[in-house]
Structure 1
């Protein structure tokens, strides 16, 4: 795997002519780059960027597994709807090894020669971040030999990888605590995340240790609640300690490997670049009816996208009036009526009507025809009927579904997550401060917005690496496990408030930067709405707090993050058989379009193999070229039901884990 270590050299050349940020700069000799001349302060920002790219695709696909998103794309739909998992999930593995891991030894060693201890420490942090993420999704994989000269590295088990990552964080804390040599480059000269603030890096390390220790919550012999609380005491203490990678929309430069924008938020590159993703009904319901309170969360309109509807145009074809159509959630877990009728991946992307457009729908079912006609009446559209055919006219300016299949006509209710960046919109006139999505240049010219996007996944959103609100919710869970409900409640409220504060700070910054001129969803929340929510029944009272209350509020706050799927595995999803906590994720289960009987072979919800618990190794990489080593550690690596085999930290004992491997 070491043959890919020069990948960043090429990236430096790609950005040399059009760099949009000082961080993504060229090395000392841009015309003749080589591995020895790359400055450590130039290597680090690229590692930060490409790690976020890897995390972006992992966050997206695991969020589909956790029920945050519905997707029509093949791999993601298999996670969000049918559970017919395939071996096509190569991207996280590929981008991690090719673009990040292959450069860590070089960063570490070159920094060591310069006495740049803080850069050495960052190499350790990325080692932990990346390999722990690979453990989370793939389980066993090359680790101790992964970055060596070995062409076919041996595999390690999950326990080895886990403790190796924890050791890297311990060394990073030690290195960050050292004073760099006087001639060493300052960390600030190459750090996109923390601007060289060593204390924030140390807090990041401790916060990651708390997150990773929490993974062991099923292991009574290893989990130590007090250790987690100690790590939390050394980690982020306010939103000022949040570690994020900022996203930008000021460049058209794209990635050499996959062609995605270089400067945008990594989550955007997967969730909101294309038109296939939508909010799930599961997530939507938590934002509109948490705890059955019937109260709308003030964060809802910032997370759930909207499009324009009832558009009226003036004589020049410009939008003069409209109403906002806030998206519904796509139901793939409940009755799933729309998907059952149309197919698992059948929700259609809308188009823009330049002229009045009439579509004829043949509807043979009388009930469906009557319901369809009622919808047209409610929408105020012109239509005619002839036996079983209904002709509907969509006025110029309409955002509509251009299909004769009546099942799809109502899909405008499901607004996709899409945002636009300079490098992706295809509309040259769309400026960097307008990140809404328009279906066409004509729609943009008219001012017809088809999606306002979502808080975490716009090109200019911050990609969250570690946040104070996550630390608060971890603290709340740990205290709840200790039976200290009073402290758990304090941390629970602090977590909700911290997430609201983080969102409000970003929304305020967007407003100041004039993004709200075209997108009202990027404006701050109403403080009265926040106050009302915090005192409503949507938020548990001190005497009624449950583990589900804690984890569902954490679920909302984490959103597009692998940590939601990690948490759901720790609590066995909706099985309700972990401790005395009951069902922590009510309503989450296989949906009516489930077809993954070969992958998920458990006989019931309390059987671990009923659920999505890992990914298969990429066929085109490890299973084609390193199969012998893969099978040596796990003889079941190629079995269809590998997808339901728990990874090491998801097992209560080593005996359980090795039993899966050796059975």
Structure 2
């Protein structure tokens, strides 16, 4: 928390940048535009930057927890530590914490107080909403956190336990609902002037508050004394009722501006900034299987081609070195939980990035093992590759226009089948000629010039993707789960079906919006086939009647729909992953387990799936920001904060009782 000393100055600078876009805001003779200060920053200039940096903090949390939950594989050391080895790295935990406290929470009290002094009740409410969003995220990740002492500039704030943080966030939402129902004072800034999310639509803000209350109340599903199904349903009835009510922050690709705190594009989608900014991420086999074989049906989900990236293959170039013909090849998933055959042949992080062959390129592989050599040659023949064999050496000619792995290690040669998730933004692609209307990833300038696409990207993680704060489809799946817990399978089934349809419809609307701009270079940014949608919804991949519906059906469809979201990890913890010991619901996430490359025995100390400490339950606090500069306060509430096994200790809402929770704080 040492960096909190500079918090107000940092965000003041950002707020002033926004303010300068509208000179009329500085016409007040009582404001000295040449000497701005914290009190002169307009609430309508603070809010968009709070929204932006919340999106950034949440985007990092979404990506890294989605990797923990099995959505993604990564070959970067930090993230691979939770996708594959389950030996979580210390460097994984800093960014969501840092960006929230430095850029969001530090401004919440100031914006609230300024809005209060002006009678701008809706901005007070907005401060409360982002307080709840941010601090609940901190609770989800770290368990114990500076809270009651956190937003007042104290560089060494005391810590609070989970119940205090949870109750505080719920109280903020209750007050926000009350404030949003008030008429602002005359002269108060209209919410629309600073709101990127709902453009000032107060009714949608109110629905967001109720929806967040439902999401947060669901976290208490292990607590028989606090979980209240009817209260959740009450909140859902007042939350989002259709996709028109979705709370989203826009992602854009129309600016070269990057922020000076982090160096990432200012206008892009928060998920993109981590999941698809670099080349390290791939779709996991676990997620891929749900998109191609839900309920063991063998049915391919129409959303699959919009979520799983593709690349150009079998490329032929014309005389000018431009693409003349090609095929699209869809990625397969990287297996970390099952046999993990490919990773075991090398290392956990060994999935390699392809290069572009501007001209015919020969690579010679020395393969001493006869069986491996025969398999390698058979694969080359099946793919129509040009090759020669001399003893143990196999020389492959990668034709001009090909994507290939630039390594003589034959084990890596097939890694082009794992298409990375990267998309390009004009601010960071390094390809000056690539226009705003093209967000494909190209291996380099030569590949772009030739027109050879290295990845089409993924629906949630492009720079122009919407950032989903709260959605109607999530509300439907929450209702389905709550009704299922009540034993009301009929209403549960209706809500489940609405959830699947709502997510598909949300995607289809965005794809339709994209197609005229981005679809000309990217087929994955065009709408799905309506017949494919109709057939899927009527297929065995979707439970067709209430009698067949299981909790697994509900949660796996929710998992697909949420994708790059912290809520998938939260849900997995509530159901104890694949332990199968919650209620009578059986194994809800089959196939999710420690894989053969597991090395996290010091972090995850449980010896059986039914032991809570078998699984990743929280993040360790940031080593420098808290364990070095604020360790006394951290240790005062949890003496285990410095221990590696902290990763396996459940947070407050993940415990059935306070007694269980307190036992982890000894």
- Greater shift, 30-39 or 146-155, is seen at 30-39
SS in 2 for 1:433: coil
TM-superposed CA distance for 1:151, in Å, is 2.7
Structure 1: tracts of 5 or more residues without a match: none
Q: Offset of 1:15 from its aligned partner?
A: 6.3
Q: Which of residues 506, 522, 527 is equivalent to 1:524?
A: 527
1:274 counterpart residue number: 278
Question: How far does the alpha carbon of each residue in 1:235-288 deviate from its partner, in whole angstroms, 9 at most, with x for none?
Answer: 000000000001000001112111111000000000000000000000000000
* Counterpart mapping for 1:229-378 below 5 A: 229-378=233-382
Of 131, 140, 147, which residue of structure 2 is paired with 1:143?
A: 147
TM-score by length of 2: 0.97
State how far apart, in whole Å, the 1-side matches of 2:236 and 2:590 are.
28
Confirm or deny that 1:381 pairs with 2:385.
Answer: yes
Match for residue 14 of structure 2 among 11, 14, 18: 11
The within-5 A match list for 1:162-201 is: 162-201=166-205
Q: Is the 8 A contact 2:627 2:634 kept in 1?
A: yes
Alignment partners' CA distance in 2, 1:13 and 1:406: 55
| Alpha-carbon distance, 1:148 to partner | 2.2
List per-residue Cα deviations over 1:56-102 (Å, max 9, x = no partner).
Answer: 00000000000000001122101100011122120010000001000
Could you tell me whether the CA contact under 8 Å between 2:422 and 2:455 is conserved in 1?
Answer: yes
Q: 1:128 aligns with which of 109, 119, 132?
A: 132
1:474 equivalent among 471, 478, 496? 478
> How many angstroms does 1:380 deviate by?
1.4
Secondary structure of 1:606's counterpart equals coil
Unaligned runs of 5+ in 2: none
SS in 2 for 1:515: coil
Shift of 1:639: 1.0
Asked if the contact 1:11–1:256 (Cα under 8 Å) also holds between the matched residues in 2, the reply is no
Deviation at 1:13, TM superposition (A): 5.3
In 2, distance between residues paired with 1:32 and 1:524? 51
What is the correspondence of 1:474-493 to structure 2 with a 5 Å cutoff? Answer: 474-493=478-497
Alpha-carbon spacing, 1:70–1:633, altered in 2? closer, same or farther (3 Å): same
Q: Deviations over 1:485-535 (max 9, x none)?
A: 0000000000000001100000000013x2101001000000000000001
The corresponding residue for 2:541 is 538
| TM-aligned CA deviation for residue 375 of structure 1 | 1.4
Aligned match of 1:75 = 78
Q: Is the 8 A contact 1:403 1:409 kept in 2?
A: yes
Q: Give the alignment of 1:204-243 within 5 angstroms.
A: 204-243=208-247
The Cα shift of 1:9 comes to 1.9
Q: Post-superposition shift, 1:30?
A: 6.0
| Partner-residue secondary structure (3-state), 2:627 | helix
Give, in angstroms, the shift of residue 541 of structure 1.
2.1
Distance 2:636 2:384 in 1: 65
Query: 2:366 & 2:191 partners in 1: Cα distance?
Result: 66
String of CA shifts for 1:395-454, please: whole Å, max 9, x gaps.
110011111111110000000000000011101110000000000111101100000000
State the partner residue of 2:58. Answer: 55
**Correspondence for 1:203:** 207
Matches of residues 142-161 of structure 1 in structure 2 within 5 Å? 142-161=146-165
Kindly tell me: are residues 631 and 26 of structure 1, through their superposed partners in 2, closer, same or farther at Cα, counting changes over 3 Å? Answer: farther
Helix, strand or coil at the partner of 2:345: helix
What is the TM-score of this pair, normalised by structure 1? 0.98
Q: Is the 8 A contact 2:357 2:398 kept in 1?
A: yes
Give the whole-Å Cα distance in 2 for the aligned partners of 1:525 and 1:67: 25
2:515 counterpart (511, 514, 525): 511
- Alpha-carbon distance in structure 2 between the residues aligned to 1:480 and 1:619: 41
Structure 1 counterpart of 2:464? 460
Contact 2:442/2:452 (8 A) holds in 1: yes
Q: The residue matched to 2:665 in structure 1 has which SS?
A: helix
Residue number in structure 1 paired with 2:455: 451
CA RMSD, 1 decimal: 1.4
